[in-house]
Amino acid sequence: MTHLQQREQEISQYVVTAAQMRDIEERIFAAGMPVVALMEKVAGLISRRLLAMIPPGKSRVGVLVGPGHNGGDALVVARQLHFQGYEVWIYNPFPKVKELTSQHLQYAQSLGIPCYQAIEQLPNCDLLVDGLFGFGLERKLTDAVASAIDHFNTWKQPIFSIDLPSGLHTDTGEVLGTTIRATNTFCLGLWKQGFLQDQALDYLGKAELIDFDIPLADVQAVLQDAPKITRITTAKAISNLPLPRPPVTHKYKEGHLLLICGSHRYAGGAILTALGARASGVGMLSIAVPEYIKPLLVSHLPEALVVGCPETETGAIAHLQLPEKTDLNSFDAIACGPGLTTDSTPIVQQVIDSDRPLLLDADGLNILAQMGTIPSLQKRQATTILTPHEGEFKRLFPDIPNIHQDRVKAVQQAAMQSGAIVLLKGARTAIANSQGSVWLNPESTPALARGGSGDVLTGILGGLLAQAVKKQIALEDMVATASWWHSQAGILAAAERTELGVDAFTLTQYLMKAVMGNG
């Protein structure tokens, strides 16, 4: 691996808030880096990306300039595109701008680049560069600026935003009154937290990081005392997989997972969860299901040990009936919930009382919410993992309001309340542990918005947890890897079959392809 590749992997893991980014920049400037020099460097990197992306024959560029240094970056980009022979015009509706931005504006005008203050004056263009507002915007946009942004959003031209689409909150991804709908966004220096919040995704377009060589020592100095927020990268996710296996091993050294799932009504949930677990490579898989559906599971997973259990009148598991000389301590991890129905409440209480790492999903979470015993999870001797979607999250943590506004903060609060690792599903899955550290999955696909997709994730995660226990891999890291693996399989399947063609069973068939394709 080259030094450049190593830096790229490391820098892409960091996620910062606006306040942290400001502190990092202040350290750079205090060390002697001139603001004007950094602006020239950043704008040069942006200009090179634009030159590589602008289609042939598209030569007219509109540049939207704000009052701060984001506007200064945009003005340098305007000048450099002008020197490359593009027809450039500038829109700057602000009567007052920062001194450095004002100097760049004056120089651009001296070069004959037209500058306009009113929307009505603007000529046609082939694309727009958005430099109205960068990171740190807090106030809602109103009046003329808001109207201008709404106007630009009606244009059909591509919009390239510098750092963030103007109008987005840096940390939460909230729309501050209105915001630019970017086609592409060049995130400067470090990934901002808002890029990994669901509510921002409609506005970011295709986002990429522009690394302008921030010293890692400055990043680490600012972030060292804050809860760690990590962007899950492919390299890191792959490195957590228990590969390669030692040449001498056996099935019980590769983890033993107990799945507790299924009912007459939801037999499919048990099958999909088990298929996900199979794909994880877990050494031994035991599956506890109602006796009635045992033959169905055996037909799909002949290698698994399928345990038929006594049933309730509704076809749910009445109680666990494990094989002779086997109890819950016989397993390295337990995953419980998919297809269970809420008629299996005693089962959930039993696994909570065990001292095994425990994953609760689906009806396991619904039963936990009904029991109202979230704080008691902190008393467990082993790790608990909760994997709610938004509705389940609200039932589990009703006192955590408005998770739409800041999913990162919400999942941190949930993990600290419960003492569990909490995985909040979404377009940008967020994972937190009880110390407040967060892992954010930067990629997914709407193709995963299908019934049964979450069951597959439970299986993958359960199987990886059982292996992590044997390999002494941090469970939080393995939860992050499972989230990455699940989403990558969905992305690969959607690329081959479209977003409409990825049912949960099909998803299981792409799990190994996703790892092989990224390995």
Q: Is 69 annotated as a binding residue?
A: yes
In contact, 301 and 287? CB cutoff 8 Å: yes
Tokens of 255: 């983890």
Q: Is 501 annotated as a binding residue?
A: no
Helix (H, G, I), strand (E, B) or coil at 374: helix
- Residues 359 and 334: their CA atoms lie apart, in Å, by 6
385: enclosing H helix or E strand: strand 384-386
Q: Is 428 annotated as a binding residue?
A: yes
Q: Is 454 annotated as a binding residue?
A: yes
- Which candidate, 84, 32, 92, places its Cα nearest to that of 62? 92
Q: Is 181 annotated as a binding residue?
A: no
Q: Is 205 annotated as a binding residue?
A: no
In contact, 287 and 274? CB cutoff 8 Å: yes
Q: Is 177 annotated as a binding residue?
A: no
Q: What is the 3-state secondary structure (H, E, C) of 2-64?
A: CHHHHHHHHHCCEEECHHHHHHHHHHHHHCCCCHHHHHHHHHHHHHHHHHHHCCCCCCEEEEE
Q: Is 389 annotated as a binding residue?
A: yes
**Residue type at 140?**
K
Vertex 230: Cα angle to 519 and 140 (nearest 5): 130
Q: How many other CB atoms sit within 10 Å of the CB of residue 449?
A: 12
Vertex 72: Cα angle to 69 and 73 (nearest 5): 95
Q: Is 135 annotated as a binding residue?
A: yes
188: enclosing H helix or E strand: strand 184-188
Q: Is 341 annotated as a binding residue?
A: no
Q: Is 138 annotated as a binding residue?
A: yes
Tokens of 499: 């977003």
Q: Is 455 annotated as a binding residue?
A: yes
In contact, 423 and 431? CB cutoff 8 Å: yes
- Residues 278 and 301: their CA atoms lie apart, in Å, by 8
Q: Is 426 annotated as a binding residue?
A: yes
- Residues 17 and 138: their CA atoms lie apart, in Å, by 12
Q: Is 429 annotated as a binding residue?
A: yes
- Residues 467 and 469: their CA atoms lie apart, in Å, by 5
Q: Is 137 annotated as a binding residue?
A: yes
Instruction: Estimate the share of the chain in helix, then strand, then coil, as percent rounded to the nearest 5.
Output: 45, 15, 40
Tokens of 231: 């962007």
Q: Is 140 annotated as a binding residue?
A: yes
Residue with tokens 């993990």, as numbered in its chain: 415
Q: Is 104 annotated as a binding residue?
A: no
Is the backbone of residue 434 left (phi > 0), alpha (psi -120 to 50) or beta? alpha
Q: Is 458 annotated as a binding residue?
A: no
For the chain, counts of helices (H) and of strands (E): 19, 19
Tokens of 182: 């970017």
Q: Is 332 annotated as a binding residue?
A: no
Compute, in degrees rounded to 10, the torsion defined by CA atoms 83, 88, 92, 97: 0
- From the number of C-beta atoms within 10 Å of its C-beta (0-12, 13-18, 19+), residue 485 rates as buried
Annotation: binding site for K(+): 70, 130, 166
Which residues carry a binding-site annotation for AMP? 425-429, 454
- Which parts are annotated binding residues for (6S)-NADPHX? 69-73, 134-140, 163, 339, 389, 455
Indicate the annotated binding residues: 69-73, 130, 134-140, 163, 166, 339, 389, 425-429, 454-455
